[in-house]
Amino acid sequence: MQIENDGDNGSATPERGMQDIADDIESRLYGSDEEPADTDGDEVSDDAIVKDALPDDDDSDSDEDDGSDLEDIATDEELSLADYLGIDEDKLIVGEDGSVSFNAIIDGESQEVSLKELATSYQMQGHVNNKSMALETDRREFEEARGKVATELKSRIDGVEALHNMAEEQLVGEYNNIDWDKLRYENPSEWSALRQEYAEKAQKIKQAQGLVSEERERISNEQQKEFHEKMSEHMKGELGKMIGKNPTWADDAVRKTDMEKMKDFMVATYGYEPEAMDTISDHRLIEVIKDAKAFRESTKAALKKKVKKLPKFQKPGAARGNAASLAKARAAKANKAALRKDGSTQSVANSILDRM
């Protein structure tokens, strides 16, 4: 599309067009109703115009500073993430994609676990713990109730046994109060009937006492069985705790060897009886013994390193005496050599003096 200009107005020159553009910029900067200030021919620099156009509180480096601050914040957050979570730095693993996982130690081996799996495991562990606590509470209540029932049953058995003993004593007393010889002579039929009656009563009392004894034995066997089951369960639990603190003890041979060494240590150091050591099952006592043994061994090793062989001490003047004797021996040897060589009178005299 072409724009035609009227001939009276004249054609617009490029210089005029640029001036119009400059005027338009000035009018936008200073306002259309305001004339630009007279600079007495001095030109206003572009930097001054840009500076006047910007707000007073603006900073040309703000974008760069903001970016730097964000990087610092990001760096601080990355460095302080472990501190924020309350764990050690080596427990966190940052992948190439920026994902964060946890370095878990399971049975002595390192294993990478994602935060999602960690949260799931924590929730599952919490659920299991709650269930375990509920089961433990129920088990404790059941044990208490069973203990009360067993105590009450034992009390009743004791009462029944006491009544039987009383009935037996009463029956024996009545039997002894009868003059059986006289009764047999005077009334043989009554004698026979009473003898039969007392025999039947004595048999019933003995049967009742037998039942009481059987029930007492049954309860005793159940209590012993329960005790052994609890002891076995306790031993398994303590063994699990020992292996948890000493993973190598999962091998029976290694565990037995270490146990024998600790037993020998306690017998030799503290005078324990071997049989007494065999009864120790508490994992806490085992840890105490193990630490005591390790401490004693480390102390002995440290003492061996510190102890040095002391030099042999000589009495005062001993060194001088040895030096003088050595010098005298050397002189005598030299005189003997001179005597063999020349046989002079002086050599003979020196040899005689050496022997004096």
**pLDDT by residue (tens digit) across 128-156?**
677 767 777 877 787 788 778 878 888 88
Two structure tokens written together for 145 = 């109730």
b/e map 319-329, b = 16+ CB within 10 Å: eeeeeeeeeee
Instruction: Note the pLDDT of residue 258.
Output: 92
- pLDDT bucket at 256, cuts 50 / 70 / 90: very high
Span 307-332, mean pLDDT?
Answer: 59
Count of residues for the chain? 356
**pLDDT by residue (tens digit) across 1-59?**
444 444 444 444 444 555 666 676 666 655 555 444 444 444 444 454 444 544 455 45
Task: Quickly tell me which residue has 């292996």 as its tokens.
Answer: 243
CA distances from 179 to 64, 172, 189, 200 (A): 128, 13, 14, 19
Instruction: Note the pLDDT of residue 49.
Output: 45
Instruction: Note the pLDDT of residue 206.
Output: 86
Residue-wise DSSP of 147-173: HHHHHHHHHHHHHHHHHHHHHHHHHHH
Total Cβ atoms within 10 A of residue 205: 19
Instruction: Note the pLDDT of residue 100.
Output: 73
Which one, of 75, 111, 71, 106, lies nearest residue 93 by Cα?
111
Query: For the ranges 73-87, 223-237, 286-300, 324-338, which has the lowest average pLDDT?
Result: 73-87
Instruction: Note the pLDDT of residue 216.
Output: 84
Span 323-336, mean pLDDT?
Answer: 70
Instruction: Note the pLDDT of residue 78.
Output: 47
Radius of gyration of the chain (CA): 56
CB under 8 Å to 282, separation ≥6 — which residues? Answer: 238
The pTM score is 0.38
Selected residue with higher pLDDT from 230 and 64: 230
Two structure tokens written together for 153 = 């049953």
Span 95-104, mean pLDDT?
Answer: 72
- When the pLDDT of each residue in the chain is averaged and rounded to a whole number, the result is 72
| 3-state DSSP assignment of residue 281 | coil
Total Cβ atoms within 10 A of residue 153: 13
Total Cβ atoms within 10 A of residue 242: 21
Which one, of 211, 202, 221, lies nearest residue 157 by Cα?
211
CA distances from 221 to 123, 156, 210 (A): 43, 18, 16
> Looking at the predicted structure, is the pLDDT value of residue 229 above 80?
yes
Bin 37: left if φ > 0, else alpha if -120 < ψ < 50, else beta: beta
Selected residue with higher pLDDT from 88 and 296: 296
DSSP letter, residue 34: S
**CA gap 12, 19 in Å, rounded:** 11
Instruction: Note the pLDDT of residue 37.
Output: 47
Instruction: Note the pLDDT of residue 217.
Output: 87
CB under 8 Å to 42, separation ≥6 — which residues? Answer: none
Two structure tokens written together for 49 = 């115009």
**pLDDT by residue (tens digit) across 191-218?**
999 889 988 988 888 888 888 888 888 8
DSSP strands (E only) in 83-197 = 92-94, 100-106, 109-114
Percent residues over pLDDT 90 in the chain: 8
Angle value at C-alpha 351, between 347 and 356, nearest 5 degrees = 145
Contact 103, 92 (CB under 8 A): yes
Two structure tokens written together for 268 = 């030799």
| Phi, psi angle pair for 105, to nearest 5° | -105, 110
Highest mean pLDDT out of 91-100, 162-171, 345-354 = 162-171
Span 93-102, mean pLDDT?
Answer: 72
Q: Dmax of the chain from CA atoms? A: 182
Highest mean pLDDT out of 95-109, 212-226, 234-248, 305-319 = 234-248
- pLDDT bucket at 227, cuts 50 / 70 / 90: confident
